[in-house]
């Protein structure tokens, strides 16, 4: 197929040439999105042009059974390119808190087909795989509609790893757009943008249904991998990234904290000050659900080994994982600062006490453990609870959480932005360690903090 394509006279207006132009621009955009500040501005400008080209090329799939391998590969390649561009546009929205330039409502494209069909190296291998692989063509719009349908229609069992990845992007975009069009009353004197209870319930169900389908898919892949003797993450890097995005979706659903917007400056001191100036969080059951996601992420880091991850896993982690870890770190630290700011008349709920105890246990397994008065060790649990309620101890715990995550960003990575994230978290930790009457580190010399 490739040889025959290259025999044709070059024309910028044939479908293959237009697709290759889109792929080239997508590659430039995807790299520039995480590059230096000057390159970032070029990438953001390129985004609109890329979206326009994709729209001109078409965002519809024809529901016809294609018996020809070369035609199927061309159609599948075009679909995958446009869906991957859609995902990168969503990542840009997540990272820089900007509106997505392609909406799910436009994406009447089939989700990616099975990998066995896509990887077939000949017409014969493709036909053989097609006879043994059963799958149903499902558009992105239809898949999202099924997730959001109430009552639940059950998990989507036939999706591929890439299909699940695209679908979790659609849910994240859905959450973003809901927040832009929803207003909730927090008090008679305050109206702020937020999700209504029925919206939260609907999206929570959709995430649950997505998770069920995703886990069933991973289970099938695990069984197949065990037969082949593979020990890699089930579903490969794409499924690994989908796991991070799922956690991010839960956090975005239940909070309005968006620390990633600090990344646009590419300046760790500016980012740290933005983190520090983010408002305290409104306590409640919804917030606790997001905090539990961050606590689980912290627990996994500590169990795997902070130094081990920093040395050996950082190159394997995509920007999706870095963005998710950054959000978890700032969210958890800001929640601990919220708890530290409680007045003496306010009481922690049972769930908040349980979360605090879990964080303390996790941090105690690291070199950043927060010391407590040894005399309390033999005292009643109420005295121990008092040590967790101490404002200064909670600030120290927030600082420790930030330092744990900051260390995982210090390993080698393709993009310097990841180290900027780590430096920003470390500087934010230094801010929390300073007495409150001392100046912010953002106003101090930028060369003196990390020396």
pLDDT in tens, 318-371: 899 999 999 999 999 999 999 999 998 899 999 999 999 999 999 999 899 887
CA distance 360 to 339: 14
User: Is residue 388 scored above 60 in pLDDT?
Assistant: no
Query: In the structure, what pLDDT confidence band is assigned to residue 203 with cuts at 50, 70 and 90?
Result: very high
Answer yes or no: is 302 within a domain: yes
Does the residue 252 lie in any domain?
no
Rounded distance between C-alpha atoms, residue 175 and residue 168, angstroms:
11
Cβ atoms of 248 and 290 within 8 Å: the answer is no
- Outline where 311-390 has alpha helix (H): 319-340, 350-364, 381-389
State what percent of residues in the chain have pLDDT above 90: 62
| Mean pLDDT value of segment 420-443 | 79
Whether the Cβ atoms of residue 329 and residue 425 lie closer than 8 Å to each other? yes
Select from 261, 311, 267, 264 the least CA-distant residue to 420. Answer: 267
Q: What pLDDT does residue 225 have?
A: 60
- State the sign of the Cα–Cα–Cα–Cα dihedral 424, 430, 433, 437: negative
**Strand segments (E) across 203-323:** none
Q: Please check whether residue 110 lies inside any domain of the structure.
A: no
The CA-CA-CA angle for residues 168, 174, 176, to 5°, reads 110
Higher pLDDT, 182 or 161: 161
Range of the domain at 275: 265-434
pLDDT score at 375: 47
pLDDT of residue 270: 94
Q: Is the pLDDT of residue 193 over 60?
A: no
443 pLDDT above the threshold of 90: no
| 3-state SS record for 47-71 | HHHHHHHHHHHCCECCCCCCCCHHH
Nearest to 334 by CA among 265, 424, 432: 432
First-to-final CA distance of the chain: 57
Is 310 contained in some domain? yes
Token pair 């900027």 is at which residue? 420
Specify the range with the lowest mean pLDDT, choosing from 35-49, 284-298, 330-344, 384-398: 384-398
- DSSP class of 191: E
Contact 84, 238 (CB under 8 A): no
Residue 418 forms part of a structural domain: yes
Domains of the chain: total: 1
Task: Return d(Cα 431, Cα 195) in angstroms, integer.
Answer: 32
Q: Is residue 190 part of a domain?
A: no
d(CA 252, CA 249): 5
Residue 441 has a pLDDT of 45
Q: Measuring CA to CA, how many Å separate 39 from each of 97, 246, 262, 293, 331?
A: 18, 29, 17, 33, 29
Residue 31 has pLDDT above 50, yes or no: yes
DSSP H or E segment with residue 432: helix 416-433
Mean pLDDT, rounded, for 209-215: 95
Q: Is the pLDDT at 374 greater than 60, yes or no?
A: no
Report the alpha-carbon distance of residue 308 to residue 305 in Å, rounded.
5
Domain contains 115: no
Residue of higher predicted confidence among 250 and 435: 250
Give the pLDDT of residue 11.
Answer: 66
> What is the rounded radius of gyration, in angstroms, for the C-alpha atoms of the chain?
24
Letter string b/e over residues 270-288, b meaning 16 or more CB atoms within 10 A of that residue's CB: bbbbbbbebeebebeebbb
| Cα–Cα dist 8/31, whole Å | 30
The pLDDT score that the predictor gives to residue 376 is 45
Lowest average pLDDT, out of 4-18, 20-34, 71-85, 342-356, goes to 4-18
Q: What pLDDT is stored for residue 1 in this prediction?
A: 46
Residue 194: strand, helix, or coil:
coil
Instruction: Give the confidence band of 133 by pLDDT, cuts at 50, 70, 90.
Output: confident
Run of H or E including 237 = helix 236-254
Q: Using pLDDT thresholds of 50, 70 and 90, give the confidence band for residue 390.
A: confident
Structure confidence at residue 420 (pLDDT): 92
User: Comparing C-alpha atoms, which of 80, 70, 71 is closest to residue 122?
Assistant: 70
Give the percent of the chain with pLDDT over 70: 83
Inter-CA distances, 31 with 44, 47, 119, 288, 416, Å? 11, 12, 25, 35, 12
- DSSP annotation of 230: -
Give dist(CA 38, CA 88) in Å, integer. Answer: 19
For residue 154, what pLDDT band results from cuts at 50, 70 and 90? confident
pLDDT reading at 419 higher than 70: yes
Given a contact cutoff of 8 angstroms between Cβ atoms, the answer to whether 290 and 255 are in contact is yes
> 2 pLDDT band (50/70/90 cuts)?
very low
418 compared with 2, residue with greater pLDDT: 418
Taking residues 42-60, what's their average pLDDT?
Answer: 94
Q: Is residue 62 part of a domain?
A: no
> CA 105 to CA 183: how far, in whole Å?
22
Q: Where do the DSSP E strands lie in 122-272?
A: 183-187, 190-193
3-state secondary structure of 113: coil
Residue 108 has pLDDT above 90, yes or no: yes
The residues with which 184 forms a beta bridge, in sequence order, are 192
């Amino acid at each position: 197929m490739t040889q025959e394509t290259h025999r044709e006279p070059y024309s910028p207006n044939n479908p293959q040439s237009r697709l290759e132009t889109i792929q080239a621009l997508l590659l430039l955009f995807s790299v520039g999105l995480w590059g230096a500040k000057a390159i970032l501005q070029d990438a953001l400008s390129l985004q609109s042009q890329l979206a326009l080209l994709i729209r001109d090329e078409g965002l519809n799939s024809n529901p016809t059974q294609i018996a020809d391998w070369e035609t199927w590969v061309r159609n599948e390649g075009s679909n995958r390119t446009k869906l991957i561009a859609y995902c990168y546009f969503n990542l840009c929205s997540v990272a820089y808190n900007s509106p997505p330039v392609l909406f799910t409502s436009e994406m009447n494209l089939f989700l990616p087909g099975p990998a066995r069909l896509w990887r077939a190296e000949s017409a014969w291998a493709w036909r053989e795989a097609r006879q043994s692989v059963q799958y149903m063509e499902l558009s992105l719009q239809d898949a999202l509609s099924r997730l959001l349908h109430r009552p639940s229609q059950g998990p989507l069992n036939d999706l591929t790893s890439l299909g699940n990845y695209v679908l979790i992007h659609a849910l994240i975009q859905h959450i973003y757009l809901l927040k832009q069009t929803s207003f909730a009353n927090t008090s008679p004197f305050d109206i702020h943008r937020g999700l209504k209870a029925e919206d939260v319930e609907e999206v929570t169900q959709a995430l649950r249904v997505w998770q069920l389908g995703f886990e069933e898919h991973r289970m099938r892949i695990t069984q197949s991998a065990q037969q082949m003797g593979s020990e890699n993450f089930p579903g490969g890097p794409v499924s690994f990234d989908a796991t991070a995005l799922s956690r991010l979706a839960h956090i975005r659903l239940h909070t309005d904290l968006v620390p990633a917007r600090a990344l646009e400056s590419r300046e760790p001191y500016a980012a740290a000050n933005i983190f520090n100036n983010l408002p305290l969080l409104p306590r409640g059951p919804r917030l606790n659900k997001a905090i539990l996601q961050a606590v689980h992420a912290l627990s996994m880091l500590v169990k795997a080994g902070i130094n081990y991850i920093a040395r050996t896993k950082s190159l394997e982690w995509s920007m999706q994982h870095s963005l998710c870890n950054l959000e978890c770190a700032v969210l958890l630290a800001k929640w601990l600062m919220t708890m530290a700011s409680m007045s003496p008349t306010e009481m922690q709920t049972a769930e908040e006490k349980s979360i605090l105890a879990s964080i303390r246990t996790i941090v105690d397994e690291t070199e950043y453990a927060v010391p407590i008065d040894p005399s309390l060790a033999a005292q009643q649990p109420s005295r121990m609870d008092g040590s967790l309620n101490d404002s200064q101890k909670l600030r120290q715990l927030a600082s420790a959480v930030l330092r744990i995550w900051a260390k995982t960003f210090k390993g080698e990575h393709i993009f310097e932005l990841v180290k900027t994230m780590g430096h920003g978290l470390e500087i934010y930790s230094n801010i929390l360690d300073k007495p409150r009457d001392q100046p912010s580190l953002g106003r101090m010399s930028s060369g003196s903090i990390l020396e």
